[in-house]
């Protein structure tokens, strides 16, 4: 039996501070191998402990773009339509060390940070952490909001 996906968010009722998504994602060395194959990023800091240590890292680390992409997946699922995302930016603040066995858990929370009714957009702030340490800084997605009467050209004449 397949689960029914949740209904997409009603973007017309957003409020600043509203939590839109909260997710947990396991990242293992297997995840890194699969991402490297899909992305073509075979930098050895993502699979070789000795090379990672020589680079001054705490060990093998997750790809930055893997982290960024994974952090927004809960928001994308909640939206139901990824084309509503008009932009997504972040700063990489801390690497995610990935153990040789087992996994680490990336926790992501997406919250409405601002609404610009004139522009028809909302800014969503994403906090991404592993063991209480932020791994992304200023992670922000810009969403297109549904057109209101004035935005759609249906305002008063």
Residue 8 counted as domain residue: no
CA distance 103 to 29: 7
- Specify the DSSP element, H or E, that contains 18: none
Is pLDDT at 153 greater than 80 in this prediction? no
Range of the domain at 84: 15-27+63-144
- Closest-CA residue to 98 (of 59, 64, 53): 59
Residues in contact with 86: Cβ distance below 8 Å, sequence separation at least 6, in sequence order:
121, 142, 143, 144
Q: Is 87 among the domain residues?
A: yes
* 112 in any annotated domain: yes
Query: Look-up: residue for tokens 């153990």?
Result: 99
Total-model pTM:
0.87
Whether residue 37 lies inside any domain: the answer is: no
* pLDDT score at 148: 63
What letter does residue 141 receive in the DSSP assignment?
E
Number of domains the chain is built from: 1
* Number of residues written out for the chain: 157
Residue range 138-150: mean pLDDT, rounded: 84
Does a structural domain hold residue 123? yes
Asked whether residue 111 is assigned to any structural domain, the reply reads yes
Please say whether the beta carbons of 79 and 8 come within 8 A.
yes
User: Could you report the per-residue pLDDT of 70-106, keeping only the tens digit for each?
Assistant: 999 999 999 999 999 999 999 999 999 999 999 999 9
Residue 122: CATH number of its domain: 3.10.129.10
CB distance 6 to 78 below 8 Å: yes
9 within some domain: no
Does 127 map to a domain?
yes
């Amino acid at each position: 039996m397949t689960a029914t996906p949740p209904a997409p968010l009603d973007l017309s009722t957003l409020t600043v501070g509203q939590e839109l998504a909260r997710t947990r994602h396991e990242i293992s060395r297997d995840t890194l191998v699969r991402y490297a194959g899909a992305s073509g990023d075979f930098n050895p800091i993502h699979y070789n402990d000795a090379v990672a240590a020589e680079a001054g890292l705490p060990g093998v680390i997750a790809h930055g773009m893997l982290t960024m992409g994974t952090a927004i997946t809960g928001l994308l699922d909640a939206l139901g339509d990824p084309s509503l995302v008009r932009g997504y930016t972040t700063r990489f603040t801390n690497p995610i060390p990935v153990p040789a066995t087992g996994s680490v858990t990336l926790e992501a929370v997406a919250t409405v940070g601002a609404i610009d009714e004139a522009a028809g957009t909302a800014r969503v702030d994403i906090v991404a952490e592993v063991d209480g340490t932020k791994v992304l800084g200023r992670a922000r997605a810009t969403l297109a909001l549904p057109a209101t009467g004035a935005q759609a050209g249906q305002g008063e004449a």
